[in-house]
Structure 1
């Protein structure tokens, strides 16, 4: 991703994932870009003001039974670009951990800004010692080797949620905080950055007036 796009993505840091989701809804992105059931585990459990922002570097895992799926020539963790978010996609229904402490050690050294695991991870204490952001569906203990393997990197991946048809593309902006994880399609990033200031100002004005006694209906009518 170009440095100008990284700078644009960094402008999201002043906002919350809720703010960004509202802006994405205004831009016509389904579900406000929300990736459900992915939450912060490290460095804290849904606490604090830590934010994860960066372009997605996707890693697609497949079941071992998919013998015809592509095979990686080198370990994915040694290919991660600086300033990116590692987005791990595990096959639906696998509870084995597809990400662990050694991976975060290498990712942090490579300059990754954090990891999102659409599946289970392990070694929670290691990620926290590294002060390295990890968002995931769940934490567990067994490794993935008996059931799955990494197959491709930097390819579109589907969110492993049967209720939603969501694709995370390489270079899409992944934004995570204590509220959850949002995916900003790269083609609408500039529009979202334009929408946010006015939207948040309106919300701030509403909050101020409601705290002073104005009804929600009246405040909404005035500022929205």
Structure 2
């Protein structure tokens, strides 16, 4: 039987994103009244930064004439230069301090919470260490609305890369753009 890495390599080499999407539509059990997503991650784009009068602050926007761009983001049209990435997802949902945790987190805090004194990035390493496939993972991060801090920056990206993370998808804020780019870790930003 092929390892997960071999299966992912075959997937990337032999199937286009459209092929995978079509297969997911056929396999997905869509709740009544909703639309099949087929693995589609909505609102990803190629943001860029504008440096305002205070150079330590960055503003993200979609304007095409601003630069430099973030290290990696999906592009529209046919992708002939960006790498194809396939790996299991490791998900992190951050909550506002005053928010109640979902029941799944309170039922099994060891599996769905962060240990005191341990950074969330190190949980990526635990997952990957326990995964016999060695496929790495794509880290998906969701940040609550109305938060102004970054959930990913240069140090966290460096650690994720060292732990074998293949890419990260961030639904929230990032910082340290030069450091992010230097890590070579693909970073996709959600822009909803």
**Bucket of the pairwise TM-score, normalised by the shorter protein:** 0.5 to 0.7
Q: Which residue of 2 aligns with 1:72?
A: 114
Q: Hey, what's the Cα distance between the residues in 2 that align with 1:65 and 1:7?
A: 44
Q: Hey, what's the Cα distance between the residues in 2 that align with 1:102 and 1:33?
A: 29
Secondary structure, aligned partner of 1:129: helix
Q: Which residue of 2 aligns with 1:26?
A: 26
- 8 Å CA contact 2:74, 2:188 repeated in 1: no
Q: Hey, what's the Cα distance between the residues in 2 that align with 1:13 and 1:98?
A: 29
Q: Which residue of 1 aligns with 2:58?
A: none
Q: For residues 159-190 of structure 1, give each alpha carbon's deviation from its aligned partner in whole angstroms, at most 9, with x where no partner exists.
A: xx7xxxxxxxxxxxxxxxxxxxxxxxxxxxxx
1:125 equivalent to 2:178? Answer yes
Q: Hey, what's the Cα distance between the residues in 2 that align with 1:49 and 1:98?
A: 24
Give TM-score, length-normalised by structure 1.
0.52
- 8 Å CA contact 1:100, 1:121 repeated in 2: yes
**TM-fit CA distance, 1:67:** 6.4
Higher helix share: 1
Q: Hey, what's the Cα distance between the residues in 1 that align with 2:123 and 2:25?
A: 34
- 8 Å CA contact 2:73, 2:188 repeated in 1: no
Aligned match for 2:153, one of 78, 92, 100:
100
Higher strand share: 1
Q: Which residue of 2 aligns with 1:146?
A: none
Secondary structure, aligned partner of 2:179: helix
Q: Which residue of 1 aligns with 2:51?
A: none
Structure 1 unaligned regions, length at least 5: 139-160, 162-224
Q: For residues 128-172 of structure 1, give each alpha carbon's deviation from its aligned partner in whole angstroms, at most 9, with x where no partner exists.
A: 11211111115xxxxxxxxxxxxxxxxxxxxxx7xxxxxxxxxxx
**TM-fit CA distance, 1:62:** 0.5
Give TM-score, length-normalised by structure 2.
0.60
Secondary structure, aligned partner of 1:42: coil
**TM-fit CA distance, 1:93:** 4.5
1:16 equivalent to 2:45? Answer no
Bigger mean CA deviation after superposition, 98-107 or 73-82:
73-82
Q: Which residue of 2 aligns with 1:35?
A: 41
CA 1:28/1:59 → structure 2, altered by over 3 Å: closer, same or farther?
A: closer
Q: Mapping of 1:20-169 within 5 angstroms?
A: 20-28=20-28, 30-39=36-45, 41-43=70-72, 46=75, 48-66=81-99, 72-73=114-115, 74-80=118-124, 81=128, 83-138=136-191
- 8 Å CA contact 1:44, 1:128 repeated in 2: no
Aligned-residue Cα RMSD (Å) equals 2.9
Q: Which residue of 2 aligns with 1:5?
A: 4
Q: Hey, what's the Cα distance between the residues in 1 that align with 2:141 and 2:154?
A: 14
